[in-house]
Chains A and B, each alone.
Chain A
Amino acid sequence: MKKEKISVTEQLSEYIKSQKETFRQHQRDLPFGEKMEIAFSLAERDKTIQHAVLLPKTNKKKGKYF
Chain B
Amino acid sequence: MGKLTIGCFSSLVGSLSLDFAVKLANTAIKKGHTVDFWVSGNATMLSKKGQRAFKDYSALMKIVQEMTATGKFQITACEACAEARGYHKEDTLEGFKRHSMDWYLASSFSADRVLHIGGD
Do chains A and B stick together as partners?
no
Q: B residues near A, CB below 8 A?
A: none
Q: A residues near B, CB below 8 A?
A: none
